Chains A and B, each alone.
Chain A
């Protein structure tokens, strides 16, 4: 399958002038047969060009169709997932595989995410469910716990073999005590079929589950051998760069041929490549900081770099819902930690007053420095940090600000540059911007950016830079290619497009870096990287950003109008839908998976969330089409009725109305708050 030629079409969607033998088709089936026929014709001609001039539009529909529809012939198909419900007309050429990145040509289904300038940030209001829901939730947990203990008790006496690893034996203490593992065994175990589901293929718009079953109440799972293609509303694939085809994948392939797969070493001892410097420069440019530093793992970016910033005598103020990696890093650093209520600026200010006036505990000496760590977009809540207010406080209280943009970078803002872009603030007013490449960029690892002084200091002091393996070349290439395609490249067109050789001559015209948020300099990319024009011009990236915002807002508001309690910000691609009762979580998961168009969702519960607010978390992607979001809404509507989840007291619309007025819904003024 690696043999398919990269499709040379200059934009994801484009009107094509040449007439084609394929007329407009009404059904997916006729579309498919036409594609097959065209395919056969192409094969008979025997021309499968390996490289096509980048600007040529001569490729027939056949080449692109061959590329854009995945046919592995082994899965149980759900047609809508593999074939577009509205077959493209002969005028349209898509360069993406529909099952990876959905075909959507309707320019109405686009939106821009930006905070209206000057408008205060509305506090986030969390809606409470009716009392009977809370009550039954607590009761459920009590029953679960009681039954768990009862079963533990009886097992200990009647079937001690099963408990062997939980009790002392042969002079060894148990590796986990039965108390410590109680939650895992008795509560989580009941819904283990919702976690760690093995998959295969691209985690794009759809994903293929390797079906499994358990015959012993989730203790072990056995694969059934079947593969099921499902709609993927769970992966952190915000901009849809998880693709096995397309400009990024082509660049990565070229990179593997040139560089191999590993950097073989730490950054300071022979693992630094030119690609690292290029990627660091590009990232700094992208986020609008002076310099940046890479780390080969997202978790480690926080856990090994925070200790290089703060230590004894310093204070870290942390949002109570910050990610585990931040807590890990802070704990390693040895700094004191105080937490404030999630996104509560009043609480934060009170805390600041207290800690500055009181100084260090016991000694009352002033703090060496105070570092405030918040996330740009909270991964379990879908809430956005109140950046403008924090910057106001920063002026007064002189703390340093660390924003973890793991989820927001690439996903928010009119240019995809994260929360600072969304709120229209100068990124340099934030001391440290951290982010990961796992999410929006479809790569792996993370970065830290800030002023040159800070980043250089981190190069000397951070654990991972000195001791951890460097980021690998394929990952670096994916980062560079996807980031450049969001930014656009200037000058947009290279002078040579041959892939095999290093470009001979670039225009020697002086290249001035554009001001933030501008395009990337062509010279900052590897010379061999040959991105398709749509990516160089930035049109593709812009399209992805706008599709993501449309999809996010549509699903968020659609779910609200259906009557669900959803948390978070309207523009957040993370949409938590509250379920509350623990028993309903696994049911939600199973019902969605068994829906006529199978959908995979992520359910999260305690300890990742507070005990009562178990939730399902949707992660919207630019790769979804409007029809996909319709499908999710339809399925949620059905499951929500079955499980009695619609507890919101806002205005409700029937499903049909939501689906028919999606554009209107998305363009509605953001409610100041309900």
Chain B
């Protein structure tokens, strides 16, 4: 027995010596690491004091490593919702599964929607040629408010730039996509508006969807108008902030909501977070205009930052087209983030956000549509700079525009089969069908209670028949077209907007029209409205 043991131990002799040797190697190695003595001493003393603690710490360390090694994409597998299947079952499930088609084919109505989109043959402008009929029309669609489309100075500058810079910038702003002309445009815009700095994005629509989440993060508070445009809705959604809504263009309602938030915060003793008011200068959905001085007053009173979308109003109102800040004589620097469109106001392509130096700088790293997209083609940037230059030096453009707007509105405002919700100075205005049997505007059943600020839907949403009104309005559009005036319904992403906008005809007046043309067009539109809407009585 003992001999057997002796032989076993003799057999294991090399193993033992190997173990001992490797132990010393490891120990030496460990000792050589700087600071190892401290760890060793710590382990020794803690083990001496409380052997249980060693076990606990070991378990903790293993747990920490295990957690770190867990793949994030596999989070579901261990959830209690996970059902174990055998390979065979999985195969069956895979075979059984039939996905919905990626896209449904269009309904006849949607097909009509697409077919009625006007297409021009040749240049855009006040008097373009339609591609399908070859007819020249007076164009009251689009966003050529200032009439800069087709401006010869801009064309020449653009060609000059093309011959120096080529067309594309071939890179995002961070990687050699920032050219001197981009910096010039940013400076021009900041100078024009009177802010410290500005930052230029390469698409107007994506600008505000990117500006909002660059500043507002989870836990921050956004207070927004119920009537904001689609891009703002998306920006708010992606920011994951806490959102409160106030009644459309109702600053009293805004104050109520702000009061409510403040009360709630005091009650909860919540920490101070970033707070933003998000609204539009002239609303894309109905052309109403916000009372900027009052809004600024409220923002200072409640210590909110203001994100103002001037995509429609920049280049459309004010003595030289600087937008709402010029119209109301409010320093633009009081608007924390002033977002505008280079595409609408300056007849180029792109958007911008003006504000303090830090606001612009912050977006250069955090504005996703800025960072991850190629910068705008230099020639478009120069065209926009030239646009600023022209607006600055030619106040007559805006006065002509206002005169034209007044002319058209004076004809249409008197019609009683329609209602126009838009501000009288807005060059883009909407025409709603006035309901056939006006529902009595009772002092609503809710007794004037405010809407729930957590929901974008107002307490008493206006009722309207989308399909019917769209059809009527399209008839008006078609009728006007036969008389050589191109107008269009406001196109909407029905079903994707958070609140459905009332169907409308959107009319865009341009400074490029003569008085005569404006009068003619207004009368044609009026006749078409009367003809179509009058019929149904």
Write the residues of chain A forming the contact surface with B, with a CB cutoff of 8 angstroms.
1-2, 4, 100, 165, 168, 170-176, 180, 184, 188, 195-204, 207, 210, 232, 234-237, 241-245, 248-249, 252-253, 256-274, 276-277, 296-300, 303-304, 307, 309, 320, 323-325, 328, 331-332, 338-341, 351-354, 356-358, 361-362, 364, 366-371, 396-400, 431-432, 436-439, 441-444, 453-454, 456-461, 463-464, 466-469, 471-475, 478, 600, 602
Contacts and interface: CB of A to CB of B under 8 A. Distances in A.
Contacts of B368: 299, 324-325, 328
Contacts of B372: 299, 323-325
A400 B166 contact: no
B170 A257 contact: no
A249 B124 contact: no
A300 B164 contact: no
B163 interface: yes
Contacts of A263: 124, 349
Interface stretch (B5-13, B62-70, B231-239): B231-239
A438 B168 contact: yes
B117 A268 contact: yes
Nearest to B347: A262
Question: Which of A232, A262, A263 is packed against the most chain B CB atoms within 10 Å?
Answer: A262
Given A370-B99, A475-B167, A444 B154 contact: no
Interface of B: 72-73, 76-77, 79, 81-83, 85, 89-90, 93-94, 97-106, 110-111, 113-114, 117-125, 131, 139, 141-144, 148-151, 154-155, 158-160, 162-171, 173-181, 183, 202-206, 209, 215, 217, 220, 229-231, 234, 237-238, 272-275, 303, 305, 341, 343-344, 347-349, 358-359, 362, 364-366, 368-369, 371-374, 376-377, 379-380, 383, 486, 488, 490-493, 496, 506, 508
B183 A198 contact: yes
A309 B101 CA distance: 10
15 contacts: A168-B272, A173-B274, A175-B215, A176-B366, A195-B175, A202-B165, A263-B349, A265-B143, A273-B123, A369-B101, A397-B94, A444-B374, A444-B376, A474-B158, A475-B167
B275 A468 contact: no
Contact of A256 (B81, B85, B159, B371): B159
A361 B76 CA distance: 8
Given A272-B120, A456-B105, A175 B359 contact: yes
B178 A197 contact: yes
A340 B183 CA distance: 40
Contact of A2 (B85, B139, B160): B160
Interface centre among B151, B205, B231 (most CB of A within 10 A): B205
Nearest to B181: A200
A443 B347 CA distance: 19
Contacts of A602: 175-176
A346 to B, nearest CB: 13
B237 A332 contact: yes
A464 B272 contact: no
A610 B43 CA distance: 34
Nearest to B220: A173
Nearest to B118: A270
B170 A237 contact: yes
Contact of A203 (B113, B171, B229, B272): B171
A456 B103 CA distance: 9
A297 B94 contact: no
Nearest to B90: A357
A475 B79 CA distance: 50
A259 B167 CA distance: 16
Contact of B94 (A201, A303, A341, A353): A353
Contacts of B229: 467
A297 B124 contact: no
| Residue in A259, A368, A436 with the greatest tally of chain B CB atoms within 10 Å | A259
Given A463-B205, A478-B167, 17 more contacts: A196-B178, A242-B167, A258-B123, A261-B383, A264-B149, A270-B486, A274-B121, A297-B202, A303-B206, A304-B205, A353-B90, A361-B81, A437-B168, A457-B105, A460-B113, A468-B206, A471-B349
A474 B163 contact: no
Closest 5 CB pairs of A and B: A270-B141, A265-B142, A468-B205, A297-B203, A457-B103
Contacts of A199: 176, 178-180
A124 B206 CA distance: 35
Given A201-B165, A260-B155, A461-B493, A296 B379 contact: no
A252 B158 CA distance: 10
B112 to A, nearest CB: 11
B383 A262 contact: yes
B105 A300 contact: no
Given A331-B238, A366-B97, A368-B99, A467 B166 contact: no
Given A399-B99, A474-B158, A441 B123 contact: no
A265 B348 CA distance: 10
Contacts of A475: 167-168, 349, 377, 380
Given A438-B170, A456-B114, A356 B150 contact: no
A235 B343 CA distance: 26
Contacts of B101: 369
B135 to A, nearest CB: 14
Contacts of B81: 358, 361-362, 364
A269 B230 contact: no
Contacts of B341: 469
B125 to A, nearest CB: 7
Residue from A2, A180, A361 having most chain B Cβ neighbours under 10 A: A2
Given A168-B272, A460-B114, A268 B491 contact: yes
B102 A309 contact: yes
B205 A469 contact: yes
B82 A358 contact: yes
Contact of B377 (A200, A370, A371, A444): A444
Contact of A458 (B83, B103, B166): B103
A269 B491 contact: yes
Contacts of A253: 159, 162-163
B362 A244 contact: no
B103 A442 contact: no
B68 to A, nearest CB: 13
Nearest to B93: A357
B99 A272 contact: no
Contact of A262 (B124, B234, B376, B506): B124
Nearest to A227: B180
A274 B120 contact: yes
A114 to B, nearest CB: 25
Contacts of B383: 261-262
Contact of A338 (B73, B237, B374, B491): B73
Given A210-B180, A260-B125, A299 B362 contact: no
A428 B8 CA distance: 72
A270 B489 CA distance: 10
Contacts of A473: 123
A244 B347 CA distance: 23
B143 to A, nearest CB: 5
A253 B119 CA distance: 22
B372 to A, nearest CB: 4
Contacts of B177: 203, 235
Nearest to A621: B170
Contacts of B114: 456, 459-460
A369 B99 contact: yes
Contacts of A296: 202-203, 349
A265 B312 CA distance: 11
Contacts of A236: 170-171, 374
* Most central of B97, B141, B305, B358 by chain A CB within 10 Å: B97
B171 A266 contact: no
A156 B262 CA distance: 29
A398 B98 contact: yes
A300 B204 CA distance: 10
Contacts of A197: 176, 178
Contact of A469 (B159, B163, B204, B486): B204
B502 to A, nearest CB: 16
